[in-house]
Structure 1
Amino acid sequence: MKNIPQVNEKVLELVQTVAKEPAVADALKLIADQTEIAMQEQIELCEIEAPTFHEEKRAASVAERMKRYGLSNVHIDEIGNVIGVRKGSGNGPVLALGAHMDSVFPAGTDVKVRQEGNIYRAPGIGDNCSGLRAILQVLRALEAQKIETVGDIWFVGTVGEEGNGDIRGSKHLCANNKLDGFIAVDSTDVGRVLYGAVGSHRWRLSIDGPGGHSFAEFGKAPSAIHAVCRAGDKVADIQVPADPKTTFTIGTIKGGTTVNTIAAHCEVDVDIRSVSNEELLRVEAEILSAFEGAVKAENARWGVTDETKKLRLTKTQIGNRPGGMRPHDCPVLQAARSAQKVLGIELTNYGMSSTDANAPMSRNIPATCLCSGGKGIGAHTVNEYFVMEHTELGPQLIMLAALSLAGTKNTEPLL
């Protein structure tokens, strides 16, 4: 990687100080010593199916574990997120550690874990049961060593991160609570730190009219397919910046009935992405305008004035993930990268993705996404598997960054 900003030396020194505190050093060792216990917990959580929108059983298990590990303030909010609060000494920041509970697999999928040496096979075993395992490891270690923090640390199992869940749990959490920092935990590569959140808006745009016979109604009935073609021509020429990276595509198109019919219906699904909310909204507005204009143009082409015979456009938003970027001096980014250095983890991916961190980043809350450790292969497929190697590095990284941000008895919070 090139042109990676430097780590602030003062932040690095603070993280080093935190890591040398006896209780913290013991907690880091405990995490390593309990890798087998943690792996068993990852298996148990994986074997509780949790399709997006139906995470209730896994949520109940996560809540019970938080209570068992020492949190008294645990509840499931109105949208289904599990929130466990570990109070600080008072007047400090609020830092959330969040791992999503849902998987992409429908109810009835076989989620029984099969072990082959240090390889564990099951849908969802890595994405994101490894993330849940990591934040629960952090909680156990903090409680076991009675580590006190200045700020509050919230342990959160979020709902609806995947697909049409549209990070609804993270969005709800950030919209309804005062958070000073957020670390999402997703995927497994501990060399990854995200500074950008790729936002995505998705629309299903449907055009409907009376249709008719291609010969008998020619000149009388406007075509839904022709209107979509007019819009597509405009959309194809929309200009977007390379930086901030912004993209768009008409991903699917459906319509018509037979070759000799003026189409009464045509619909497309459109995907728009950017790390800038401003660019995301600008391109979205241009695309929607192109379809609105295309419907008017197709109606005008045939001189249709009767409202009952005109084409009409229906706009349905089917995805809404906000985007955002954090400055490189963001305390969460600096704490995470410093913790990597202290633990001897090489930064191999400093980039952007779409995770639960999108919601806080879009609200300018200091945030990033870190990973659980181990190695996840084949996510979002029924052949997914998880390799249990260096799994301790994920929770060690998360804990060290979190303590530096929340502050300890010997250090001031970075947040």
Structure 2
Amino acid sequence: MKPTSSTFLLPALSIALSYATLVVGAAHAQTADPAAEVRRVLASPIYQSATAALDKEHGRIVEDGIKPTEIPAPPFGEKARAEEFAKMLKASGLSDVQIDPEGNVLGLRKGTRSDGKVVVVSAHLDTVFPAGTDVKVKRQGTKLYAPGIGDDTMSLSVLLGFVRAMKTAGISTCDDILFVGTVGEEGPGDLRGVRYLFTKGSYKDKIKSFFSVESGDVNRVTHGGVGSKRYRITFSGPGGHSFGAFGTVNPMFAQAQAAVEFARIQVPAKPKTTYSIGLIGGGTSVNSIPVSSWMEIDMRSESVDELKRVEDRMLKIVQEAADGENFARSTKNAKITVEAKLIGDRPAGNTDMKADIVQIAKAAIEAGGYTPDLNWSSTDSNMPMNLGIPALTIGRGGIGRNGRTHSLDEWEDVEKGPMVKAMATSLSIVLSATGME
């Protein structure tokens, strides 16, 4: 039988459709060439339309950063800001928005080829500043000054800008994207928001990769999570008059001995491992033997094993200090006891430098004309990294466009050109990692 033209057409069409499907789905599967995927996204007219939307909406993005900045969000006090951010996500076009039991704000943008899992793009709601801090934004030219304006409130408005730009450009992604405003990223929050997201929340087994958008320069890529353990060590005893009860065990002496021995712990330069005593206190008066004394200890490392080694040594040291004081002085009225209370626990981890997510970020940053700065830090990404889930913390600002982080005169430069260029670069990372169609 002689073949007709239609006999060849059907297989050819099938092959073409299969190839198109492979190309479209490349980014949300294991990407054979991450740099090529970035180039594909950057060359796309719909991506260019999205960057044009960011440019057009620059003023709104700035105002969307000012609004939540002026809503106080101290550690464990993020509720009002969370409620406002949820409203803003809905107003930006996301219909599936909720606040979870821990206080995180979640907004889902459905993909076209969902496998039941999501890519998280997040920024944190909380700041380091206590309740009562003046958070009114002050303008000086293109600079905005306010506690928390850079870390990390302006990132919330950048996420809103991403949502609107994608909608305006008609961008679809293969993967579902879960936009999240997390609580508890700073200090005493101890990553409680992202910890809940990964261990108890409704998406806990459904997150395939994770991006935390932070205040840093757009070329900064945090691929390593510095782990930390923080303890409040309390030594307690019977107390007494400094002269009349002289010879009685003294909690301060035990604490001082523990501090000296703690300071002698040897740690490696690589993986970087550190320790410090940051706060001390206790006692009743200068002429009294204390009933109790305490100190707060911070230990950090790029290595899970090294952090555990320092922690174990510290716990042994404080017990030995209590035992030594009980041996050296009278325990007639009571012995020295020691309590080691864990007050902070940030898990260590890292995303392999060869992972697609890292290679995509590097390629996008280089394509934006920046030099990638890969680093280790302590951010929301620590949690997924520790669980073996690909995660990065990426910057979204122009180079050198923010400063005085964690101070009352914290500032953010929102000059249009550098800000839009940086946001567009960050958006290209997200779209390349989620399979922009």
> What is the TM-score when the length of structure 1 is the normalising length?
0.90
Aligned to 2:299: 272
- The number of equivalent residue pairs is 398
Cα shift at 1:311? 0.9
Q: What is the SS of the residue equivalent to 2:235? A: strand
Using the aligned pairs only, state the percent identity: 39
Q: Provide the rounded CA distance (Å) in 2 between the counterparts of 1:261 and 1:120.
A: 51
* C-alpha distance 247-146 of structure 1, shift in aligned 2 (>3 A): same
Cα shift at 1:54? 1.4
Cα shift at 1:197? 1.3
Aligned to 1:202: 230
The structure 2 residue matched to 1:300, chosen from 327, 350, 353, is: 327
- Deviations 1:349-382 (Å, cap 9, x if unpaired)? 3211111111111212111111121422222222
* C-alpha distance 249-156 of structure 1, shift in aligned 2 (>3 A): same
Aligned to 2:77: 54
Within the alignment, does 1:361 sit opposite 2:385 as a pair? yes
Partner amino acid, structure 2, of 1:30: A
Q: Provide the rounded CA distance (Å) in 2 between the counterparts of 1:335 and 1:170.
A: 23
Aligned to 2:346: 321
- Deviations 1:172-231 (Å, cap 9, x if unpaired)? 112231211111011131121112112221111010101223454344x21111211222
Cα shift at 1:29? 2.2
Mapping of 1:57-96 within 5 angstroms?
Answer: 57-92=80-115, 93-96=117-120
Q: Which has the larger radius of gyration?
A: 2
Q: Provide the rounded CA distance (Å) in 2 between the counterparts of 1:323 and 1:345.
A: 28
Q: What is the SS of the residue equivalent to 2:422? A: helix
Q: Provide the rounded CA distance (Å) in 1 between the counterparts of 2:285 and 2:321.
A: 22
The structure 1 residue matched to 2:131, chosen from 100, 104, 107, is: 107
Cα shift at 1:164? 0.8
The structure 1 residue matched to 2:47, chosen from 24, 40, 57, is: 24
Q: Provide the rounded CA distance (Å) in 1 between the counterparts of 2:216 and 2:270.
A: 28
Within the alignment, does 1:167 sit opposite 2:195 as a pair? no
The structure 1 residue matched to 2:274, chosen from 241, 247, 250, is: 247
Q: What is the SS of the residue equivalent to 2:139? A: strand
Q: Provide the rounded CA distance (Å) in 1 between the counterparts of 2:283 and 2:79.
A: 41
> What is the TM-score when the length of structure 2 is the normalising length?
0.86
Deviates more, 1:170-179 or 1:183-192: 170-179
Within the alignment, does 1:287 sit opposite 2:320 as a pair? no
Mapping of 1:150-229 within 5 angstroms?
Answer: 150-176=174-200, 177=204, 178-219=206-247, 221-229=248-256
Alignment gaps of 5+ in structure 1:
1-7, 410-415
Aligned to 2:27: none
The structure 1 residue matched to 2:289, chosen from 262, 266, 271, is: 262
- Deviations 1:279-300 (Å, cap 9, x if unpaired)? 2122111101111121122212
Cα shift at 1:232? 2.2
Alignment gaps of 5+ in structure 2:
1-30
Q: Provide the rounded CA distance (Å) in 1 between the counterparts of 2:303 and 2:265.
A: 16
Q: Decide whether the 8 Å contact of 1:181 with 1:365 is kept in 2.
A: yes
Q: What is the SS of the residue equivalent to 1:372? A: strand
Q: Provide the rounded CA distance (Å) in 2 between the counterparts of 1:337 and 1:399.
A: 13
Q: Decide whether the 8 Å contact of 2:107 with 2:178 is kept in 1.
A: yes
* C-alpha distance 57-337 of structure 1, shift in aligned 2 (>3 A): same
Aligned to 1:346: 371
Q: Decide whether the 8 Å contact of 1:15 with 1:339 is kept in 2.
A: yes
